[in-house]
Amino acid sequence: MRRRSLGSMLAPALVWLSCTAAPGEAPEEAPEGKGVPVGLVEVTQREVVEPILGTGTIAAHKTTDVGPRVDGIIEEIFVRVGDRVEAGDPLFCTRDVDYRIRVDEALHALRLAKAEAEKAARDRERVEQLHARGVASSEQTEDTRTAETIAKARLGAARTALARARQELDDTVVRAPYAAAVTRRQIDEGVMMRTMLMGGSAVVQLMKLDIVAAIVTIPEIHLGRVGVGTPARVRIDGIDREFESEVLILNDRVDPAARSIELRIPIRNPDLEIKAGLFARAELLPPARTALVLDADAVRGVGGDRYVYVSEEGVAQRRAVEVRPLPDGSLEIERGLAAGQRVLVPRGETALAAGLRVAVQDGDVAL
């Protein structure tokens, strides 16, 4: 009984002596299978593209509230909301009776002025002939020349008045300035309209929709990452597909209240499928940049207290890192690790902790 008791007491001591390194010697690696099983994940350096998200509204390429060009009663409106018109198509007309009369009056005034100019020219020629024979005085000659000049000026004024009257008559019919859709009809026939009114003088509204623009806003912190030509993908409520385009306009004005900047992204719309006013979501794709990337499973902690485990001589050690999420679910390492470094990830049910001996499983290195 005494020998057995002594042997059992000496056994742990012998084991301890066999596992302890001699002074000045490096500690031995943990025997295979004795450390916590772990895998390794390598910090890689690669190009990443971080999309910038913005929201906004679809706007027409052009929007025009079309009103009359001359004063008068709106006699007929030729279009309805939803109609498609081409450039030059008639939209509505103002009653033209008065304008036809004005053309008539101008024609008669032109004929009168022409007759007076012809008479003045004949009088000048006759007096000049008499003056050459010494019958008419120089003063008479000068008077006839002046009268002819006045008659010619009146003739020119009469021609201008006729051209203006004809233009006003032509302006009683208002035509579409460009190919567009009729999106609003403000009044009906019979309303007296005046061109000098500052507001409320529109008869119909036109929108040019063959090209529309997604007017979106993004936070001002992204200003340095976007510019004219930045690729973009746009999704529009009510339309089950995505539109690819690029930034055409970057507004120089920053909204000081929302701390945002405005971008305009053109979208071709030949069949007028996209309507002005629809809600739009844009994904901007700035140029790729180089980043240090690590699998999210290898990073522990929450908030500002993030850390990883690295192996130092076969022992897990905790190391603080600063990270930010990337769109693909991985993390960008901003501080704490370098490219090529390897981080421990547990294998099995045993959790990692600082000071634990670890054993890397064969071939278990993820890049």
pLDDT tens by residue, the chain, 367 residues: 344 443 444 344 333 333 333 333 333 344 444 788 888 999 999 998 889 999 999 999 999 999 999 999 999 999 999 999 999 999 999 999 999 999 999 999 999 999 999 999 999 999 999 999 988 899 999 999 999 999 999 999 999 999 999 999 999 999 999 999 999 999 999 999 988 765 668 999 999 999 999 999 999 999 999 999 999 999 999 999 999 999 999 999 999 999 999 999 999 999 999 999 999 999 999 998 899 999 998 999 988 899 999 999 889 999 999 998 988 889 999 999 999 999 999 887 778 888 899 888 755 544 4
- Report pLDDT digits (tens) over 321-365: 999 898 888 999 999 999 999 999 988 777 888 889 988 875 554
What is the domain-level CATH number for residue 129? 1.10.287
Q: Does residue 18 lie within any of the structural domains?
A: no
Q: Considering 121, 144, 171, which residue would you say is the last residue of a domain?
A: 171
- The DSSP result for 46-114, as a single string, is EEE---EEEEEEEEEEEEEEE--SSSEEEEEE---TT-EE-TT-EEEEE--HHHHHHHHHHHHHHHHHH
Q: Compute φ and ψ for 97, nearest 5 degrees.
A: -60, -50
Do 268 and 215 fall within a single domain?
yes
Non-local CB neighbours of 121 within 8 Å, separated by 6+ positions = 148, 151
Do 296 and 260 fall within a single domain?
no
Provide the token pair at 223.
């200003």
Domain limits for position 239? 53-61+209-288
328: buried, middle or exposed (CB in 10 Å: 19+, 13-18, 0-12)?
Answer: exposed
Do 326 and 258 fall within a single domain?
no
Helix (H, G, I), strand (E, B) or coil at 238: coil
Do 281 and 301 fall within a single domain?
no
Q: Does residue 79 lie within any of the structural domains?
A: no
Do 280 and 313 fall within a single domain?
no
Do 167 and 115 fall within a single domain?
yes
Planar angle of CA 267, 273, 278, nearest 5 degrees: 70
Amino acid letter, residue 138: S
Q: Find, among 309, 310, 314, 353, the residue nearest to 28 by Cα.
A: 314
Do 272 and 312 fall within a single domain?
no
Q: Does residue 14 lie within any of the structural domains?
A: no
What is the domain-level CATH number for residue 283? 2.40.30.170
- Report pLDDT digits (tens) over 101-143: 999 999 999 999 999 999 999 999 999 999 999 888 999 999 9
Question: What integer pLDDT is reported at residue 14 of this predicted model?
Answer: 36
Q: Does residue 196 lie within any of the structural domains?
A: no
Do 255 and 268 fall within a single domain?
yes
Q: Considering 270, 288, 306, which residue would you say is the last residue of a domain?
A: 288
Question: What integer pLDDT is reported at residue 10 of this predicted model?
Answer: 39
Spatial separation of the C-alpha atoms in residues 319 and 253, rounded to whole Å: 44
Alpha carbon of residue 77 to chain centroid: 36
Q: Does residue 199 lie within any of the structural domains?
A: no
Provide the token pair at 256.
């000081």
Q: Does residue 88 lie within any of the structural domains?
A: no
Question: What integer pLDDT is reported at residue 198 of this predicted model?
Answer: 58
SS (H, E, C) 167-221: HHHHCCEEECCCCEEEEEECCCCCCEECCCCCCCCCCEEEEEEEEEEEEEEEEHH
Q: Does residue 315 lie within any of the structural domains?
A: yes
Question: What integer pLDDT is reported at residue 197 of this predicted model?
Answer: 65
Do 265 and 245 fall within a single domain?
yes
Alpha carbon of residue 142 to chain centroid: 71
Q: Does residue 303 lie within any of the structural domains?
A: yes
CB half-sphere exposure, 90, CA atoms < 13 A: 11
Number of domains in the chain: 3
Q: Considering 288, 308, 333, which residue would you say is the last residue of a domain?
A: 288
